[in-house]
Amino acid sequence: MPEDIYTSRAWDNADGTDSQGPSSASNGRPPIHPQGSSESSGTTSQYPPSTSPQPRLSSDSGGMSASSKWQDTVISENHESVSVTTEPSTLVETTFDESVLRALCDMDCGVPLLLDRIKQSMVSCREASVFLKKRAVIEEEYGKSLQKLSRTTSEVYSMNDGKAGTFVTAWQSTMRIHEVMGENRARFAQRLNEMSEELATIAKEVDKTRKSTKELSTRYERALQEAEGLTEKSKTRLDVSSEELERLLLQKEGEASKDNYVQAKPVGGKRAIGKAVAKGGLLLKGKNPGNIQRQEDEIRARVSAASDSFRKAVIDTQAMRQEYFNFQLPRILRALKECSDEIDLGTQYHLTRYAFLFESIVLSDGSTLVPPKDDGSTALGLKTAIEMIDNRGDFKTYMQNYAYAHGNNNRGPRREGPPEEGFLPPLPSHHPNSSTPSNNSNGVLTPDKVRPTFGVDLGEQMTRDDVDVPPIMRKCCEAIEKYGLESQGIYRLSGTTSKVQKLKQLLDKDLDSVDLDSPEWSSDINNVTSVLKMWLRELPEPLMTFTLQQSFIEAAKIENDRLRHIRLHERVNDLPDPNYATLKYLLGHLYQVYQHSSANSMSVQNLAIVFGPTLFGSPAPNTQGTATNGVIADAPYQNMASFAPACRKTRY
């Protein structure tokens, strides 16, 4: 075909404006202009007016670059442009893959493929929107309920006759913390509602674009099919006229056998040539040369007209086909692919944003419960506020105020009176920590310094002595760290039995008077270590407690090192406060021993073997009074659980 034949005559009225618009440049093709009025003046476009959405640049398809906002613009026949704007983000990739577009152009099913893909993406987008909407309802209800509960509780408490002092301060702080958490959840619900609406809007606008583009593609395909049908009809008319001319020429040369009957072969499945001849008059009617020539001229004119019509139909159809496959189809596919990318990236963006906001609200709740200490904030956390409650001080204040306000109105029975009326002498005041002399069996006054240490409950010892660490442990550990860190086999070797028993009696009778720095005890530090282990073994309940014994063993059986350490720390945190403080001090001391293992040969394993049975004690008896099964099998795990925390350089 000559080069000047490839024109846009069939698209002059159908796509004249689009071919010169920015969409042509975006597809990398020059605009196609009409060749001249003489060629196109008599041509009627086979295509309907174009309403193709203007293809956007690849950089705009994602709509989420660092300097741009989410934008979804839909251009249709009867709708104005609608824009959806959200926050900027660089969380998803926004590049357009041109190789995918070329592959789609080579496929026969490119348009239905993209239409079905967009339909799937719309379903996913709507499902995400519904989820965010329902989640927003849950969060909003939770936030409002928490705010209402905290405010109502605070108001009700202020009107009731509750405790005052440090308790009311901690209580009000607790309610304020819950109110702040409720406000955070309400804001989170608001953001979820916004994202849900944005996703719903994106799905709605993409649906409009999909329908308009599908309709446009259908019109283009239908117009091309109609042009091909017209070409086929023009070809049939040309074939019929050509056959008629051929028969006339044959009759003119005298090759026909009969004058009025002509047997014609079928042409393209159409009517017989005899009927076609009958329409133009009888061939060689009267065998008049003038009539024959006139009939020939008429048939040649019809053949020429049919040939021109067929040639024009072929040129227009071919130009329309090339225009469709080279320009319009890529435009439609690009628009659909960008539409698919836009809804996919939009859904991914909002889901990523949801994940970020969810993490932020959880971290915000954590910061509210436990405010960070490095930002200079004076806010109190929930646990800190509750720990500030001083029940003893509050009671003393309440007792003083109550005695001052009601002491004279609520008198009880008389305390003192004359003996003849039955009154007994007043009892002496009780001072548990006083050093008031007392009578011994011989009637001699001796200071009351006897404070039993061995076999006494750990909590009772520490409460009685008002200390954070048992005095016997502190005293023994300081002496061991002073004289025995480099002693070979420290804690593994036992001391002299008589010396150990003597030291035990002295410590149990008057711990403060015992001087472990004297040569009697410092010369053989194994006596001190034996006494310390004896004190741990004779506790009524072992340091690790019977209640948590099995939990420690189960935690030690975990194969993953990180998870095992976490579970062991959790079990340690479950210990009662006296046991926790004592264990903390002991493990710090054992770590000092371990640091000198090159001299004393007490590695982590050796220390664990020594202290495992000591810290766990004897197994708790079952209902038959016998030890539980599996004690020997659990011994390695007891050792691991008892000394695993000591492997760390820092104390708890």
Contacts 24+ apart (CB under 8 A), 448-453: 449/509, 449/510, 449/512, 449/513, 450/509, 450/510, 451/510, 451/511, 452/508, 453/507, 453/508, 453/511, 453/535
- Residue 427 CA to its chain's centroid (Å): 70
Handedness of CA 312, 314, 319, 321 (dihedral sign): positive
This model's pTM is above 0.85: no
Residue 526 belongs to some domain of the structure: yes
Centre a 10 Å sphere on the Cβ of residue 589 and count the other Cβ atoms it contains: 20
Determine the number of helices (DSSP H) and then strands (DSSP E) in the chain.
Answer: 23, 2
Residue 322 belongs to some domain of the structure: no
Q: CA of 209: how far to CAs of 51, 226, 478, in Å?
A: 11, 26, 82
For position 197, what pLDDT does the model report?
Answer: 93
CATH number for 531: 1.10.555.10
CA-based nearest residue to 213, from 335, 93, 30? 335
d(CA 508, CA 42): 124
d(CA 612, CA 491): 12
For tokens 């203007």, what's the residue? 54
For position 223, what pLDDT does the model report?
Answer: 87
Q: Nearest 5 degrees, angle CA 199-CA 95-CA 77? A: 55
Residue 37 belongs to some domain of the structure: no
- Residue 400 CA to its chain's centroid (Å): 56
Residue 483 belongs to some domain of the structure: yes
H or E segment and range at residue 446:
strand 445-446
Residue 380 belongs to some domain of the structure: no
Q: Flag residues of the chain having pLDDT under 70.
A: 1-96, 254-289, 375-377, 406-417, 420-450, 618-652
For position 619, what pLDDT does the model report?
Answer: 60
Residue 328 belongs to some domain of the structure: no
d(CA 296, CA 290): 10
Average pLDDT across the chain, whole number:
74
Residue 548 belongs to some domain of the structure: yes
For position 199, what pLDDT does the model report?
Answer: 93
Q: Count the domains in the chain.
A: 1
d(CA 315, CA 293): 33
Q: Measure the N-to-C terminal CA separation of the chain; round to a whole number of Å.
A: 90
Residue 350 belongs to some domain of the structure: no
Residue 360, token pair as written in the block: 């932020």
For position 549, what pLDDT does the model report?
Answer: 86
- 508 is in which domain, residue-wise? 458-647
SS3 of 461, please? helix
Residue 569, token pair as written in the block: 């720390």
